[in-house]
Amino acid sequence: MRKRNESVTLEHERFASSAPAAAAASSSSCSSQQPDKGFSLRPSLRLPGSSRPAADSGMKRTLGRRHGMWFRLRKVVIWLLGVYIAIPFLVKLCPAIQAKLVFLNFVRVPYFIDLKKPQDQGLNHTCNYYLQPEEDVTIGVWHTVPTAVWKDAQGKDQLWYEDALGSSHPVILYLHGNAGTRGGDHRVELYKVLSSLGYHVVTFDYRGWGDSIGTPSESGMTYDALHVFDWIKARSGDNPVYIWGHSLGTGVATNLVRRLCERETPPDALILESPFTNIREEAKSHPFSVIYRYFPGFDWFFLDPITSSGIKFANDENVKHISCSLLILHAEDDPVVPFHLGKKLYNIAAPSRSFRDYKVQFVPFHTDLGYRHKYIYKSPELPRILREFLGKLGHEHRH
């Protein structure tokens, strides 16, 4: 009997000791749950279920971002395509846009230079003039004397420079290309080279370029060049006068020389650096035209507006009417005026009847030299080329 009571007592004590622990466990693990449903395993069973909505929402945000990015990209592509298609129609409706792209006279490089002070560009033997070819047209001119007389030129005025044209040194009238001014870096470097070889160098900005006043046009540019040529001839006496045109300036140069030959006052020689055949072929070959070159109706959209604006620069036609010696310089790696256009112009000029009594020479510069469109002045061979070509002409001129 005692044993039974002891066992009952032990069972009672065991139950009594375990009851507070169970109650504590129930209250700690299910404090947020209803008392009658508080089991310690229930929260752990809900953890996987509770993380799935967060993962789904994260995936939705990622997909949303991707969708938004593609949507924006598609809008940009559609916008660019619209602009691409609209530009040809805009050019066709406003031919003046194409004329501005040909001249690029609104691009003034380098910026912030004072064209009245050529000495700021390292030309300490250069004088700045202003001439007036027509009413309401004023053009800025630079005259660089030969390096041999640079000391005598220090502090001299315009009258002294004009008188210096009558010295025994030949004169080169330089006609620059589009964009920039007479103070362009590569142009200034060429003036220095030519001056060191004993030439007067006279250059100017066409109407509408640099600080010259007027509206650009092919006929206006040609008339400006004619006015400066006549101004030089009135002061240079019997000294040889050569005309040098670069890039778009070759179009002005052949226009000028053709006109001079027609009035029987040709220059002593014509030098064309990086020339093209005509403006239509040049525009079609220009890097800017790459994205539209195969656009349906390219000629109608882009080339016809140039012609309708009175811009032709027909070098290939002009050389058939020129009667003076011709030197063509062209770099094989020229990215602006392709080499094959210069070679094609030479092939047109060489057999022309107008050149039968004159020298026609083509000088290529290999791709490895890296002279591209405007760095032929760097060639160490250039002085020799000019001496051999112009030197012989000068000898013939004197005799």
Report field, pTM of the whole predicted structure over 0.85? no
Characterize 197-232 residue by residue with b for buried, 16 or more Cβ atoms within 10 angstroms of its Cβ, and e for exposed.
bebbbbbbbbbbbbbbebebbbebbbbbbbbbbebb
pLDDT digits (tens, 9 = 90+) for 187-227: 999 999 999 999 999 999 999 999 999 999 999 999 999 99
Q: Provide the angle, in degrees to the nearest 10, between the axes of the packed helices 218-236 and 248-262.
A: 60
Average pLDDT over residues 292-305: 80
Angle (CA) 336 143 148, round 5°: 105
| pLDDT value for 55 | 65
User: Torsion angle of alpha carbons 206, 211, 216, 218, nearest 10°?
Assistant: 0
Higher pLDDT, 286 or 132: 132
Which residue has tokens 């250039």? 382
Q: Which residue type sits at 152?
A: D
Question: Residue 131: what are its φ and ψ, rounded to 5°?
Answer: -115, 160
Question: Residue 226: what are its φ and ψ, rounded to 5°?
Answer: -65, -40
Length reported for the chain = 399
Which DSSP helix (H) or strand (E) runs through 363?
strand 360-365
| pLDDT value for 53 | 63
| pLDDT value for 52 | 63
Residue 77 has pLDDT above 70, yes or no: yes
Give yes or no for a contact between 363 and 274, defined as CB atoms under 8 angstroms apart: no
Residue 20 has pLDDT above 70, yes or no: no
d(CA 108, CA 110): 6
Residues 103-390: name the CATH superfamily. Answer: Alpha/Beta hydrolase fold, catalytic domain (3.40.50.1820)
Burial group, residue 349, by CB count within 10 angstroms (0-12, 13-18, 19+): buried
d(CA 273, CA 246): 5
Three-state DSSP state, 183: coil
Characterize 247-274 residue by residue with b for buried, 16 or more Cβ atoms within 10 angstroms of its Cβ, and e for exposed.
bbbbbbbbbbbbbbbeeeebbbbbbbbb
- Interacting residues of 120 by C-beta distance below 8 A, sequence separation 6+: 113, 114
pLDDT digits (tens, 9 = 90+) for 138-169: 999 999 999 999 999 999 999 999 999 999 99
| pLDDT value for 392 | 62
| pLDDT value for 397 | 46
| pLDDT value for 367 | 98
40 — pLDDT class (breaks 50, 70, 90): very low
- Interacting residues of 158 by C-beta distance below 8 A, sequence separation 6+: 127, 129
- Which has the closest alpha carbon to 270: 254, 248, 259? 254
Query: How many Cβ atoms from other residues are within 10 Å of residue 375's Cβ?
Result: 16
300 — pLDDT class (breaks 50, 70, 90): confident
Q: How many helices (H) and strands (E) does the chain have?
A: 14, 8
Question: Residue 94: what are its φ and ψ, rounded to 5°?
Answer: -125, 80
Higher pLDDT, 296 or 368: 368
pLDDT digits (tens, 9 = 90+) for 321-332: 999 999 999 999
pLDDT digits (tens, 9 = 90+) for 113-130: 999 999 999 999 999 999
Give yes or no for a contact between 166 and 91, defined as CB atoms under 8 angstroms apart: no
Which DSSP helix (H) or strand (E) runs through 132?
strand 126-134
Residue 107 has pLDDT above 80, yes or no: yes
**Residues assigned a catalytic role:** 247, 334, 373
Higher pLDDT, 251 or 168: 251
Higher pLDDT, 35 or 269: 269
Average predicted confidence (pLDDT) for the chain? 85
Query: How many Cβ atoms from other residues are within 10 Å of residue 39's Cβ?
Result: 13
Give the DSSP per-residue string, 334-352: -SSS-HHHHHHHHHHHTT-
| pLDDT value for 295 | 76
